[in-house]
Copies of this chain bind each other. A is one copy, B any other.
Amino acid sequence: MIRKEPLRPGGRSARVQASVHQAVRALQARHGRAGLTIPMIAAEAGVTPSTLYRRWGDLPELLADVAVERLRPDTPPRDTGSLRGDLEHWAEQIADEYASVPGRALIQDVLAANATPERAYQCCAFLREALGLVILRAQARGEPTPDVEMLIDGVMAPILYRILFLGDRPDKARVKALVARALQGLA
């Protein structure tokens, strides 16, 4: 949904986009992710391949577009009653989601689309938004809080680094330690 909406005349943008996204989800669920092609997606979505080539350029771009939508959080972080609890619970949830086979593939799809780095930025923005909410709740409780960048560097970056480069979901103890370290020495 990064493309500018057609403010000018023609364009059935929305309808095609929706059916293509749905087609990709269906095909990825049915077959694996490997071997997915643009003609295949076009057939499933009921459009011609040239439409997809014109709109997205190539398969990686299309997959990245779908991936960003799927990475968009559907629910805000759970309120556990404390900053530490919120962070631990939410970081665990993100780790589970991103370390799963489909989750890791989504991140790869986003990072592989080298034509539009804005998509990777968008994914980080989802995390920032969630962290911002957690921080606001903590401030409302009167707890001392770190800033968002500290949590990005101290908690999210290590989790994502390990998932991406080591194929390794950090275990609960490590996540707890990352959170503890990020909260260390607050006023």
A residues contacting B by CB (< 8 A) are 33-34, 105, 108, 111-112, 114, 117, 120-121, 123-124, 152-154, 156-158, 160-162, 164-167, 178, 181
Chain B residue numbers with a CB within 8 Å of A162 are 157
- Check if A167 sits within 8 Å of B120, measured CB to CB: yes
Contact between B108 and A112, CB atoms less than 8 A apart: yes
| Copies, count | 2
A33 to B115, CA, bound (A): 11
A157, A158, A167, A181 pick with most chain B CB within 10 angstroms: A157
Q: How distant is A154 from chain B, measured CB to nearest CB, in Å?
A: 8
B167 and A117 contacting across the interface, CB-CB below 8 Å: yes
Chain B: minimal CB distance from A167 (Å):
5
Complex interface: chain B residues within 8 A of A105 (CB): 114
Instruction: Pick the contact of A161: B33, B34, B117, B156 (CB < 8 A).
Output: B156
Chain B residues with CB under 8 A of A166 = 120-121, 124
